[in-house]
Amino acid sequence: MTAFDLSPPSSAQRDALVADLSAEEQRVLLQHGTEAPFCGVFLDNKRDGVYCCRLCALPLFRSSTKFDSGTGWPSFFAPFDPAHVREIRDISHGMIRTEIVCARCGSHLGHVFPDGPPPTFERHCLNSVSLGFVENGQPYPDPLQRGGAEAQPAA
């Protein structure tokens, strides 16, 4: 069970968080868009830390699970906590895929595919604009003022 509060932001909190997004972040996070490959700020990030939801700051993926998939998007073989990422059947674009969204705020993150490395054989393919990054030892952002696990340093 996760130590993080997964209850969704209130309407007022969500409005405040959305107001802080760029047009491109809104297109990807809220309208299920995709950023162009090989241009995301986190594609080549090699720092140790945790990738969080850009909208609500829920921890999503650890740098220790990141790998170079060659696809042009940051890829991870396992989430920070399976409860933090929700999977949705996606039948857009004439194919069947599995979309992944933030379990707390519902923001679009990317897709998961069954072609990753061991031990999970999953490739969680993420849009950089869907993410924030917290270096190990730094506190997690807490834009919803939840305290608790959100106030603890990234591990």
Other Cβ atoms within 10 Å of 40 Cβ, number: 19
Ramachandran angles phi, psi of 116, nearest 5°: -90, -175
Of residues 52, 125, 126, 129, which has the active-site annotation? Answer: 125
Does 52 appear as a known binding residue?
no
- Separation of alpha carbons 9 and 115, rounded Å: 33
Q: Which residues contact 124 (CB under 8 A, 6 or more apart)?
A: 61, 75, 76, 77, 78, 79, 85, 100, 109, 110, 111, 112, 116
**Are the C-beta atoms of residues 151 and 140 closer than 8 Å to each other?**
yes
Angle at alpha carbon of residue 55, lines to 143 and 132, rounded to 5°: 90
125 is catalytic: yes
Q: Binding-site residues for Zn(2+), please?
A: 53, 56, 102, 105
List, by residue number, the catalytic residues.
125
Q: Binding-site residues, please?
A: 53, 56, 102, 105
